[in-house]
Amino acid sequence: MSDYSLIDNHIELTKMFSELEVHMKNCEHSMIGLVPIGICMSVDGGLLVSLADEESDSYELQSQSRRLVRHITVTRDIIHEYEYQEDGQTKLFTLPFKVTQNSNSDICVVNRTRPAKGELVIMSPAGRMKSVYRGQNLTLNFCPTDLVCDSLCNILVTDLNNKRIHLLSAEGEFLKFLLTENEVNQPFSLSLHKSTLWVGYHTGLVKVFQYKV
């Protein structure tokens, strides 16, 4: 990717997030008492926003605790709220840390269940729980911090504790670890554009890899 392409992408991203900030401010009336944690564009051009209440302890849920993902349009209309499982009582999330929507329309959420432990929740657009991934072949607790999806709907998830990037199928089945421990250390954030994968470390370092599907 050339320097000019990077500049163009930066300008587009800056414009997009400026517009998102305006939309979020316009939605404040429906978010009183809720703090936006993660945000992404949905496949229909709207927004998916993960939200948590301000007062409850982050990982200790009370009956009045609110932890949800909200799907909204650019005109601020609420399309869907994902807060409870199909029984209408069991909460879906402890702390929805990151959210993205796959090309197959599934909604993928990094749900932090403890300060250094979590899971990946995959739901249908209607809110049906499809699968939950809690790691595989690990020494320490699975600690997801970010995720992206590729053109084949595979899901890439960072694991801070185990210094790994997990590659999952669209259904949330473990395929392999994407990079070796020598190639990544404390991966915290991800960005994927075509065949370029950016991996941000917890220390602030960013590494760039060529990604082949």
- The predicted pLDDT at position 1 comes to 47
- CB atoms < 10 A from the CB of 129, how many? 14
* 141-169 per-position pLDDT tens digit: 999 999 999 999 999 999 999 999 999 99
Handedness of CA 1, 46, 31, 100 (dihedral sign): negative
For the whole model, what pTM was predicted?
A: 0.84
Beta strands 117-123 and 164-168 are unpaired
Low-confidence ranges of the chain (pLDDT < 70): 1-32, 55-57
Instruction: Identify the H or E element spanning 3.
Output: helix 3-26
DSSP string, 27-55: TGGG-TTEEEEEEEE-TTSSEEEEEEESS
CA distance 38 to 60: 20
CA distance 111 to 59: 11
- The predicted pLDDT at position 15 comes to 56
Fold assignment, 3-210: Neuraminidase (2.120.10)
Q: What are the residue ranges spanned by the domains of the chain?
A: 3-210
